[in-house]
A and B are shown apart, each in its own frame.
Chain A
Amino acid sequence: MSTLEVSNINDGTTTVATTFVTNGSAKAWVTHNAATVAQDSLNVSSLTDSGTGKTAVNFSNSFGAKDYATSICSMRSSGSNSHYENNGVSGSASALNAVYISGTSAADTNVASVICVGELA
């Protein structure tokens, strides 16, 4: 495999540091199904099914601190209807606890995705 070493990237008008791109990429992400089985992922060692609507995402490479940014999206299917949920999140630098909420209580989701952006350890 060859390595391209560049400090800056230019699109013809704007120049940005390569770190601008790498620091902005998702450092961990996962899509999982109702059985909490990962469909695809990056930097995830395991998922923990903690109960109805509750999933913990354990990272292979921890974040530097617990203040990384997270985006969670989940979808439940009910007959022919699908709708997006409200979600809650808490966790640490090495794991994230996602709660998938339908109405006012945690509920299992058919498909969920979690994306984390931040500085790695």
Chain B
Amino acid sequence: MTVKHLWERLLEAKSQLKPVQSKYRVLFEDPATPDEPAKVLVPDPNWMACALEGGILPPIETYQRDRLVPDGEPKEHPYAEPIDAMTEEEAIEYLIQKDIDPSVWRDYKGNRTIMKIVPVELIPSDRSFRNAWRIMQ
């Protein structure tokens, strides 16, 4: 059976699934730019609905292999067989591997904690000093 293109699956999902606001955020610092503030990864509600539903998103390994594919060359992830439903926690781990550089979650060997999964409530709502945010050690 032919697998529908990922974008078509996302279109269908958007028309059928209710968005899900995640209760998590991922705080991380880029070791390549130590002077920059900590970044906050916010899962997209429509994407989270797809992850929890299953049968829409491709295996994370396809994104990782596609990182090595040059621009303009065919990519694997849009045509891969979709995976089953994930829990919200599994979805966050998937998202980390997809949207955060491996230098943060895989290759970093230093002593500083440069990535944390935190509840939404721990993200400050006051952004006055946003460019001074660091991960507390």
Contact = CB atoms under 8 A, between A and B. Distances in A.
A58 interface: yes
A75 to B, nearest CB: 16
Contacts of B7: 27, 43, 61, 120
Given A52-B131, A58-B99, A121-B75, A45 B39 contact: no
Contact of B77 (A38, A92, A121): A121
Interface in A42-71: 42-52, 58, 60-62, 64-66
Interface string B69-85: 00110110110000000
19 contacts: A36-B40, A41-B44, A41-B45, A43-B10, A45-B44, A47-B42, A48-B41, A50-B37, A60-B57, A61-B5, A61-B6, A62-B66, A64-B72, A64-B75, A65-B71, A94-B66, A108-B127, A121-B75, A121-B78
Interface of B: 5-7, 10-12, 14, 19, 21, 36-37, 39-47, 50, 57, 66-67, 71-72, 74-75, 77-78, 95, 98-99, 123, 125, 127, 130-131
